[in-house]
């Protein structure tokens, strides 16, 4: 136990609602294995998280530190930040990096390693400076990590900036043949020189001692096999990290927003498999015109729903827009500003999930056996939507991230997706993946064994 008591892991999440929960769950597991954890968040998120944090549910080995940061985002990276993401990431690379680097040598007990979100790649040179192992947490699937690792290959082919969206790329190792339009959205406008420079930045994935991927081997075995050969044996899947039961026992609070649990009572009054759950995550938004088309299409479909309608779902929209939407669909569903998503997806009344295809939402839907209707908005979401609909065949697409959808098409696709015969095939496929995910996370499962190996090495590194 003496060795265990000295192990001290510094955890650095990316400041977004979608990135934070897996690392909080991983921190809880680290603490349960006798490892001290200090979690660093930007100051506004730190304060928000501590409002609902219950030390009794996570153990006394988890500690928190605030990092001063000039942007106040208590709910994490949101739709307003998405509009200014270049400036935001510049601040992360300068202000946040400097604050974190200055704090590391002053910590007691001395840190044993730095475990950081891969998006905060500058943490690896900091770990090297202080002679610490660097652990990269990759927040998406293995296919996306392969794209990230092979940016030089893509740059050499001259496929970006995007000129031919329909061009199929079949040479990225571990990635199924994929149209360029389904590659991460942030690559589409990137010049060759920028892509090359980005690919060569200090702190690449292969420089990490371990790469912990938020997926499971059985979901994408080829991608994991290829990336393990490329990166090394410590590139491993560790998901799912979130609890796979909806009992609430021993759960930790991971949401920065207030969750409206009253929707669970409403779900109790609905028929099994009848409700379409709608959520565009924590930072995706719709234009006012697209929102109007969507609400009209939803009303025309007559589909029953539970919709997470955030205040910033439409940025700078008309004040009467949401009220109009509620009146138009008043006999069809229930609205909340934020939902306890894991509990919602586990509810038997949920028949399908209309999602932006953020990886957390996609992964949580898989692990609860819920088919998806994908409508990606940005980042890696188009890739996740393609894998979900074409490769894993556990749902279908509503539309592409850059395509304006008319109400008639929306109504037709909503009805088509929730059709009992069509969704049955999706449900059978996703149920198989749900079972595989649960087996991976259970004692003796692939992800469980990988985490055990990681814990042993962390305790032995001091």
- Same domain for 241 and 296, yes or no, is no
Cα–Cα distance, 185 to 195 (Å, whole number): 13
Domain assignment of residue 210, yes or no: yes
Q: Is the backbone of residue 325 left (phi > 0), alpha (psi -120 to 50) or beta?
A: alpha
Q: E strands of 235-332, at which residues?
A: 235-237, 275-279, 305-308
Domain assignment of residue 251, yes or no: no
- Same domain for 230 and 275, yes or no, is no
Structurally, the chain folds into a number of domains equal to 2
Domain assignment of residue 312, yes or no: yes
pLDDT tens across the length of the chain (462 residues):
334 468 999 999 999 999 999 999 999 999 988 899 999 999 999 999 999 887 776 668 999 999 999 999 999 998 888 878 888 888 998 999 999 999 999 999 999 999 999 999 999 999 999 999 999 999 999 999 999 999 989 988 988 998 899 999 999 999 999 999 999 999 998 887 888 877 777 678 989 999 999 999 999 999 999 999 999 999 999 999 988 875 554 578 899 999 999 999 999 999 999 999 999 999 888 999 999 999 999 999 999 999 999 999 997 777 789 999 999 998 999 999 999 999 999 999 999 999 999 999 999 999 999 999 999 998 899 999 999 999 999 999 999 888 899 999 999 999 999 998 889 999 999 999 999 999 999 999 999 999 999 998 887 754
Cα angle 68, 71, 76 (rounded to 5 degrees) comes to 95
- Same domain for 267 and 207, yes or no, is no
* Residues whose CB falls within 8 Å of the CB of residue 131, separated by 6 or more in sequence, listed in order: none
Domain assignment of residue 192, yes or no: yes
Note the pLDDT of residue 4. Answer: 46
Domain assignment of residue 253, yes or no: no
Domain assignment of residue 256, yes or no: no
- Same domain for 327 and 192, yes or no, is no
Return the sign of the alpha-carbon dihedral for residues 239, 399, 171, 202: negative
Structure tokens at 255: 């949401």
- Same domain for 267 and 146, yes or no, is no
- Same domain for 127 and 222, yes or no, is yes
- Same domain for 238 and 269, yes or no, is no
User: What separation, in Å, do the N-terminal and C-terminal C-alpha atoms of the chain show?
Assistant: 13
Domain of residue 190 covers 2-245+439-460
- Same domain for 110 and 136, yes or no, is yes
Q: Report how far apart, in Å, the C-alpha atoms of 378 and of each of 117, 181, 214, 314 are.
A: 19, 11, 19, 15
Domain assignment of residue 399, yes or no: yes
H helical segments located in 209-358: 221-231, 262-268, 288-301, 321-328, 341-345
- Same domain for 430 and 443, yes or no, is no
Note the pLDDT of residue 251. Answer: 72
Note the pLDDT of residue 335. Answer: 97
Q: Report how far apart, in Å, the C-alpha atoms of 68 and of each of 65, 78, 84, 94, 196 are.
A: 10, 19, 20, 12, 32
Note the pLDDT of residue 3. Answer: 42
Cα–Cα distance, 190 to 315 (Å, whole number): 25
- CATH code (residue 7): 3.40.50.2000
Domain assignment of residue 254, yes or no: no
> Which has the closest alpha carbon to 458: 153, 174, 33?
33
């Amino acid at each position: 136990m003496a060795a265990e008591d000295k192990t001290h892991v510094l955890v650095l999440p990316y400041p977004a609602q979608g990135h934070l929960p897996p690392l909080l769950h991983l921190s809880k597991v680290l603490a349960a294995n006798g490892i001290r954890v200090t979690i660093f968040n930007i100051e506004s998120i730190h304060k928000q998280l501590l409002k609902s944090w219950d030390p009794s549910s996570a153990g006394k080995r988890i500690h928190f530190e605030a990092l001063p940061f000039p942007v106040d985002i208590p709910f994490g990276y949101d739709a307003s930040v998405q509009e200014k993401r270049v400036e935001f990431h510049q601040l992360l690379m300068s202000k946040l990096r400097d604050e974190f680097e200055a704090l590391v040598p002053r910590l007691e007990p001395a840190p044993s390693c730095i475990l950081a979100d891969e998006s905060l790649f500058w943490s690896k040179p900091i770990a090297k400076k202080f002679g610490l192992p660097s652990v990269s947490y990759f927040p998406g699937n293995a296919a996306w990590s392969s794209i990230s690792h092979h940016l030089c290959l893509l740059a050499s082919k001259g496929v970006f900036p995007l000129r031919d969206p329909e061009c199929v790329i079949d040479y990225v190792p571990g990635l199924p043949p994929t149209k360029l339009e389904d590659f991460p959205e942030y690559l589409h406008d990137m010049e060759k020189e920028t892509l090359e420079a980005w690919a060569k930045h200090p702190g690449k994935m292969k420089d990490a001692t371990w790469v912990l991927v938020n997926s499971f081997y059985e979901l994408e075995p080829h991608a994991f096999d290829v990336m393990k050969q490329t990166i090394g044996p410590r590139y491993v899947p560790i998901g799912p990290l979130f609890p796979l039961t909806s009992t609430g026992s021993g759960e930790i609070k991971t949401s920065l927003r207030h969750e409206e649990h009253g929707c669970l009572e409403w779900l109790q009054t609905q028929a099994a498999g009848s409700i379409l759950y709608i959520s565009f995550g924590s930072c995706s938004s719709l234009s006012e015109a697209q929102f109007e088309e969507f609400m009209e299409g939803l009303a025309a479909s007559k589909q029953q729903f539970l919709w997470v309608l955030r205040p910033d779902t439409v940025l700078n929209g008309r004040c009467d827009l949401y009220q109009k939407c509620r009146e138009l669909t008043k006999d069809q569903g229930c609205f909340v500003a934020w939902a306890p998503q894991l509990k919602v997806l586990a509810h038997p009344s949920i028949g399908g999930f209309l999602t932006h295809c953020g990886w957390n939402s996609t992964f949580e839907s898989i692990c609860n056996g819920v088919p998806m209707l994908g409508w990606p908005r940005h980042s890696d979401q188009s890739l996740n939507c393609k894998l979900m609909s074409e490769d894993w065949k556990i749902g279908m697409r509503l539309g592409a991230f850059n395509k304006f959808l008319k109400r008639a098409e929306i109504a037709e696709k909503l009805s088509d997706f929730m059709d009992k015969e069509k969704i049955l095939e999706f449900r059978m496929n996703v149920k198989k993946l749900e079972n595989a995910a649960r087996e991976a996370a259970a004692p003796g499962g692939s992800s469980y064994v990988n985490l055990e190996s990681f814990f042993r090495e962390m305790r032995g590194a001091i």
